[in-house]
């Protein structure tokens, strides 16, 4: 009988990882007996546990050629990868890449075929719930699929008619790259999620079930959709070739993504989406009232360059603008935008609205910045190409600062020709991340009065360097508690007060034992 004391530890064990449970049972003799009570849910290779006295307490195992005949008594999930058609009767998850010679055991609920499997499965699948065919499969399925099936995925080569052959139990259906068959009377009414591959370009008029919730088209789909999308659809994504009028067919869609070529007016549409993404060609004027106050995330692609006006709902808090956008960003129209992404590669000509707290520059941006243009930013992220001088350029409001791959400029505080201090990293920054190319000295600047101005200000607690950084850090980052060093760093680690240190697995220099921090070896 378990005591209250045992019950408490069992409850605690539910919050622990598998290895943490084992460590807990090793804490004392009395706790050791709980290893026979605990259940172990994480998938593990059976070779690693078959010798253990508490073998029967594992619930999820992966069989091997050496051990595939015995499983724990408490097992619920048994994984096997094989080409042998003699499948043990307790396997639940099977990756099969051989030839089927007999019916699959009733225990198999999850079945995936290898990429070269191309054989009829008629009469072979009895109780499969999740079924995935490999890329070479292109056989007629006729009536081969069981009524238990809920998830079905076809590989890239499959291009056969499925009309009348899919069971009514299917909830999720995904077609591969080359599927391009008519779908009239083909999609079961039970399907809630439907994904087409890139080659699909067939009419959907009256062919989509009214139960459908999520719908994704591939690259080549470009069929009329007015009165074709069921009102039940909440998530809709078009591929890059789609460029058809949408009318009022998408009134209930909450998450809407258009591909690259879409460039039709949406002014006569009733859109109540939460998130909308436009592709690179879209550059149509938008009338007031077209976008509703349900909208919180709005993304424009490469070509959009329309001025902001009262067409932008006050509900929008996440806004992303593309390469060619060059219009003023008035505070009055962006009154609630707090997250702004700019993909353009040009000098900022207009100030960032004061409401914006999170600013991300895209990969290509590489122009000088001025703190007077950056408003009240607290989180500032530069893209990979940015490599400009930053002294006296970062606002004192910034608490989180991230540089991309190419940045490799001095960050040391110094004085200009007038004797005024030029600050690299402001003292407001707490989280600081550098990209892979950064390898500048972080030595401090000694002022006339003898005060040392640290390159990494004492406000910084979380500091991450990229792969190329290999500079001395001793006594230069006194306030950093979380430190990440890249692949090429090989100086001695001393004179720091970190509580967590992440270093490359190849690091072979000296770490001061007085630091006493948690050390993580990363493979990078």
Q: What confidence tens digit (pLDDT) does each residue in 289-319 have?
A: 999 999 999 999 999 999 999 999 999 999 9
Helix, strand, or coil (residue 271): strand
Q: What is the pLDDT of residue 82?
A: 93
Tokens in use for 272?
A: 């109540």
Element (H or E) spanning 502, and its range?
Answer: strand 500-504
Q: What is the pLDDT of residue 349?
A: 84
Helix, strand, or coil (residue 23): helix
Please check the confidence at residue 148 and state whether its pLDDT lies above 70: yes
What are the CA-CA distances from residue 463 to residues 403, 432, 473 (Å)? 12, 5, 12
Please check the confidence at residue 206 and state whether its pLDDT lies above 50: yes
Tokens in use for 263?
A: 């460039």
Q: What confidence tens digit (pLDDT) does each residue in 464-480 have?
A: 999 999 999 999 999 99
List the alpha helices (DSSP H) in 62-130.
none
Q: What is the pLDDT of residue 1?
A: 46
Distance CA 385, CA 223 (A): 39
330-338: long-range contacts, CB 8 A cutoff, minimum separation 24: 331/355, 333/308, 333/309, 334/308
List the alpha helices (DSSP H) in 370-513.
none
Band of pLDDT at residue 499, cut at 50, 70 and 90 = very high
What does the DSSP assignment read for 331-398? TTTSTT--EEEE---S---SPPPTT--EEEE-TT------GGGSTT-SEEE--TT-----TTTS-TT-
Q: What confidence tens digit (pLDDT) does each residue in 349-378 have?
A: 889 999 999 999 999 999 999 999 998 999
Distance CA 114, CA 99 (A): 10
CA 54 to chain centre: 37
Please check the confidence at residue 2 and state whether its pLDDT lies above 60: no
Average pLDDT over residues 26-53: 91
Rg (CA), the chain: 30
Listed in sequence order, the residues at least 6 apart from 319 whose beta carbon sits closer than 8 Å to its beta carbon are: 298, 299, 334, 337, 339, 340, 341
Distance CA 50, CA 61 (A): 10
Q: What is the pLDDT of residue 268?
A: 87
Q: What is the pLDDT of residue 13?
A: 84
Taking a C-beta distance cutoff of 8 angstroms, is the pair 471, 491 a contact? yes
Q: Which residues partner with 195 through β-bridges?
A: 174, 216
DSSP state of 15: T
Band of pLDDT at residue 102, cut at 50, 70 and 90 = confident
Q: What is the pLDDT of residue 495?
A: 86
For tokens 């890329």, name the residue: 135
Listed in sequence order, the residues at least 6 apart from 224 whose beta carbon sits closer than 8 Å to its beta carbon are: 203, 205, 244, 245
Helix, strand, or coil (residue 207): coil
Taking a C-beta distance cutoff of 8 angstroms, is the pair 5, 12 a contact? no
Please check the confidence at residue 416 and state whether its pLDDT lies above 70: no
Element (H or E) spanning 197, and its range?
Answer: none
Tokens in use for 81?
A: 């990868």
What are the CA-CA distances from residue 184 to residues 151, 206, 347, 438 (Å)? 20, 7, 53, 57
Where do the DSSP E strands lie in 83-186? 93-96, 110-113, 130-132, 151-153, 172-174
Using alpha carbons only, give the angle 451, 452, 455 rounded to the nearest 5 degrees: 150
Of 36-40, 156-160, 403-407, least confident by mean pLDDT is 36-40
Average pLDDT over residues 389-409: 97
C-alpha torsion angle, residues 30, 35, 39, 44 (rounded to 10)? 160
CA 1 to chain centre: 46
Taking a C-beta distance cutoff of 8 angstroms, is the pair 212, 191 a contact? yes
Average pLDDT over residues 451-470: 92
């Amino acid at each position: 009988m378990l005591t209250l004391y045992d019950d408490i530890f069992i409850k605690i064990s539910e919050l622990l990882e598998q290895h943490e449970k084992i460590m807990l049972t090793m804490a004392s003799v009395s706790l050791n007996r709980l290893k026979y009570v605990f259940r172990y849910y994480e998938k593990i290779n059976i070779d690693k546990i078959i010798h253990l006295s508490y073998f029967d307490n594992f619930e999820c195992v992966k069989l091997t050629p050496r051990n595939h005949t015995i499983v724990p008594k408490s097992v619920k999930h048994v994984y096997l990868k094989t080409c042998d058609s003699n499948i043990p009767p307790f396997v639940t998850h099977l990756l099969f890449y051989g030839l089927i010679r007999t019916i699959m055991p009733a225990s198999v609920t999850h079945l995936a075929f290898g990429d070269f499997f191309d054989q009829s499965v008629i009469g072979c699948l009895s109780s499969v719930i999740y079924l995935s065919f490999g890329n070479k499969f292109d056989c007629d399925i006729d009536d081969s699929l069981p009524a238990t099936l809920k998830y079905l995925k076809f590989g890239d080569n499959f291009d056969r008619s499925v009309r009348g052959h899919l069971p009514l139990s299917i909830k999720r259906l995904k077609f591969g790259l080359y599927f391009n068959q008519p779908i009239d009377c083909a999609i079961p009414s039970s399907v809630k999620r439907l994904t087409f591959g890139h080659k699909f370009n067939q009419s959907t008029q009256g062919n989509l079930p009214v139960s459908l919730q999520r719908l994704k088209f591939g690259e080549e789909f470009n069929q009329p959709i007015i009165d074709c999308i069921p009102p039940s659809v909440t998530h809709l994504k078009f591929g890059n070739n789609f460029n058809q009028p949408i009318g009022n067919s998408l009134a209930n869609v909450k998450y809407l993504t258009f591909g690259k070529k879409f460039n039709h007016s949406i002014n006569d549409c009733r859109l109540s989406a939460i998130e909308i993404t436009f592709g690179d060609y879209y550059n149509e004027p938008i009338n007031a009232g077209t976008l509703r106050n349900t909208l919180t995330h709005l993304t424009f692609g490469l070509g959009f360059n329309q001025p902001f006006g009262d067409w932008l709902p006050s509900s929008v808090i996440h806004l992303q603008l593309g390469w060619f956008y060059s219009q003023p960003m008035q505070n009055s129209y962006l009154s609630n935008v707090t997250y702004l992404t700019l993909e353009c590669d040009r000098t900022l000509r207009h100030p960032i609205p004061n409401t914006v707290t999170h600013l991300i520059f895209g990969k290509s941006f590489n122009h000088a910045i001025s703190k007077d243009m950056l408003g009240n930013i607290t989180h500032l992220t530069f893209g990979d190409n940015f490599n400009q001088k930053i002294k006296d350029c970062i606002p004192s409001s910034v608490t989180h600062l991230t540089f991309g791959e190419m940045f490799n400029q001095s960050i040391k505080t110094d004085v200009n020709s007038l004797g005024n201090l030029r600050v690299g990293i402001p003292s407001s920054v707490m989280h600081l991340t550098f990209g892979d190319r950064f390898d500048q000295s972080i030595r401090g600047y000694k002022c006339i009065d003898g005060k040392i101005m640290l390159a990494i200000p004492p406000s910084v607690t979380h500091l991450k360097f990229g792969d190329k950084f290999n500079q001395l850090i001793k006594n230069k980052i006194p306030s950093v508690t979380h430190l990440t060093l890249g692949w090429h760093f090989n100086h001695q680690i001393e004179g720091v007060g970190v509580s967590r240190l992440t270093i490359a697995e190849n690091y072979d220099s000296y770490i001061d034992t007085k630091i006493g921090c948690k050390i993580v070896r990363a493979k990078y």
